[in-house]
A and B are shown apart, each in its own frame.
Chain A
Amino acid sequence: MKTTAIDRLKAIAGDESIKWTEKADWRKSNRKWLDKSARIAIKILRALRAQQKSQKDLAAIIRVTPQYVNKIVKGQENLSLETICKIETALGIELISIPGFQTEIVLQELPDTEPTFKFNRTELKLIGSRKYLYESTISYVNEEEEHYKKTG
């Protein structure tokens, strides 16, 4: 029976299907953090190039092995915040940033009048032959409220 090209190919081919499917599935299920790790690696490598530093230099500054730095710059390392901060300091760059808190601050609109202070002033005044307690309040609208309380 005449064999086809695919039959002849199958007869000599070794099987490496499991190797790839395992890798492909791992990459897919870890894609979210791998994506972040890759972006960090890009920033580190570009900073190293711009600053003419080697991976060995960086390893010495942050006190890890050059092999570990190499793993980081390949974009396959699940980095700790501590390591990220050490690299940020060593290279003087920002690798990650946390978005600001979502607290809503409502600022009360103030009138255009300038003074925003308020204080009270109390003094005794003699009006005619009687003593009055003079109270004065200056508020932010800059209107002076005055009234007199009879003190006796």
Chain B
Amino acid sequence: MEIVRIFDDHLFSFKHNDCENEFSKLFDFWSDIEQLEEFFEANKYDLQKPFWNYLSVEDAIYRTIQESGKLEDSLRNLSKQTIDKLKGLDSLFRPLNDLQTNVVELNKSKAKQNWLRMYALKIENNAYLITGGAIKLTRTMQERKHTQLELNKINSCHDYLLRKGIIDRKGIVEAFEL
């Protein structure tokens, strides 16, 4: 396990083995039609709910690549800003627990609810360390294997930071999601 810088002193990512880092892996996954088709085919019953408007697998794939493009563009725009102007990351990430407990309310307040999630540990203001991400189709992360796995990753990444002495128990980092 290692840590890599994505841009400036603001966005970092975990990287496992010799693979792509977690951040890049997400954008690769969200633009890979073959992988998305397999994912939505395996999770198509989650789409067959009023909340997702009984979306077809085809529409779900297309929606994912569109949302992923928008998200990547907004992060890329943030990365071009000068350090003192860069305050946008704090507005993009939300505390993980708040989101989970208030998920219904949040969903209602958003006309177009997005299912793309990036999980990160907040190191300090406007500085985040990406642990992974997912396509979250259920209300809680515990309901599906792939989102439960992301929860486990957040915990193991947190432990790694403690072991390496990057954080201590006093200055404990919080888990956030985008």
Contacts and interface: CB of A to CB of B under 8 A. Distances in A.
Contacts of B62: 38-39, 42
B124 A5 contact: yes
A112 interface: no
Given A12-B164, A20-B24, A42-B37, A28 B127 contact: no
Interface in A7-61: 8-10, 12-17, 19-21, 23-25, 27-28, 31, 34-35, 38-39, 41-43, 45-46, 49
Contact of A75 (B6, B33, B124, B161): B33
A75 B31 CA distance: 8
Given A5-B166, A6-B124, A45 B9 contact: no
Contacts of A76: 31-32
Given A17-B7, A21-B79, A23-B27, A5 B171 contact: yes
Nearest to A19: B24
Contact of B3 (A12, A21, A45): A12
Contacts of B34: 41, 45, 70, 73-75
Interface size class on chain B is 35 or more
Interface in B21-46: 21, 23-24, 27, 31-35, 37, 41
A97 interface: no
B6 A38 contact: no
Contacts of A49: 37, 41
B61 interface: yes
A14 B72 contact: no
A4 B167 CA distance: 8
A74 B33 contact: yes
Contacts of B166: 5, 8-9, 12
B160 to A, nearest CB: 11
A42 B69 contact: no
A17 B24 CA distance: 10
B131 to A, nearest CB: 13
Given A12-B164, A16-B6, A6 B33 contact: no
Given A8-B165, A12-B2, A24-B73, 14 more contacts: A5-B123, A9-B12, A13-B4, A14-B15, A21-B7, A24-B27, A27-B72, A42-B33, A42-B61, A43-B58, A46-B37, A75-B31, A75-B32, A76-B31
Interface of B: 2-9, 12-13, 15, 21, 23-24, 27, 31-35, 37, 41, 57-58, 61-62, 65, 69, 72-73, 75-76, 79, 123-124, 127, 129, 161, 164-167, 171, 173
